[in-house]
Amino acid sequence: MKFISILSYTVFAGIALAAPHTSKRSARRKAAGRHSQPNKYIEGSAHVTNDTNVEYSSNWSGAALITTGVTSVTGTFTVPKPSTAGSGSAWVGIDGYSNDVILQTGVDWTKSGNSYSYDAWYEWYPDYAYDFSGITIAAGDEIKVTVTATSTTSGTAVVENLTTGVTVTKTFKNEGSLGALGEISAEWIVEDFEENDALVTFTDFGSVEFTDASAVTSAGTVGVTGATIIDIKQGSTVLTTVTLPSSSEVLVT
């Protein structure tokens, strides 16, 4: 559960689509019920502006590419240092936009008082997120995240800290009891994730830019061109702005 030259435009519109660690830390996550969630599309929020699809969600911000035969998604980003109390997460994933199963991996950040914490994690939703052991994350680290589906019920999640040179991998096998992937969407997302069935306080993370963003699909390796842009809106407030500076970049502010 738990996007430079910037092409700037206002994102208040898009088209309507189908609604879509250590062992101790892992145990705490499960006890807290920490989940990523599928996209919580806000009904009636989607519009169209020129050739850009934009919609609002209560928990996702970023880009979702709707296609077929998605077997791998990757992207690289710099870990932010949040300026307000709360949490957030950046990840890449397969599915979850138009169905209820997600293979995903990423990094969480939390600011509490003057303290900051970061975790690298993996998840085959609807199971809980579990932290990787053997890797440390800090603000300013360059992180590459990749998920690969070897079948609709098996795959891998990989987090590489390019700054420290440490790589960790989780292999999933026969996860059919949790649900099979549809392999119909690729995502590059900053999320307001859930604990105890409620969204955590979403911190001001500044910006996260996914670079070298690509997906392997039935059409070959593709970038983010044509992806739907998603902004987080909670109540009447739009909390993020997303742009696609190039075919391989997703910028979330």
- Total residue count of the chain as it appears in this document: 253
DSSP string for residues in 32-53: HT-B-----B-TT--EEETTEE
Q: Give the whole-angstrom CA distance, residue 232 versus residue 222.
A: 25
The label of the residue with tokens 């044509």 reads 226
Q: Specify whether the CB–CB gap between 72 and 215 falls below 8 A.
A: yes
The three-state secondary structure class of 179 is: coil
Q: Tokens for 184?
A: 């119909």
Active site residue 43: no
Contacts for 236 with CB less than 8 Å, ≥ 6 apart? none
Residue of 183, 191, 194, 249 marked active site: 191
By annotation, the residues acting in catalysis are 191
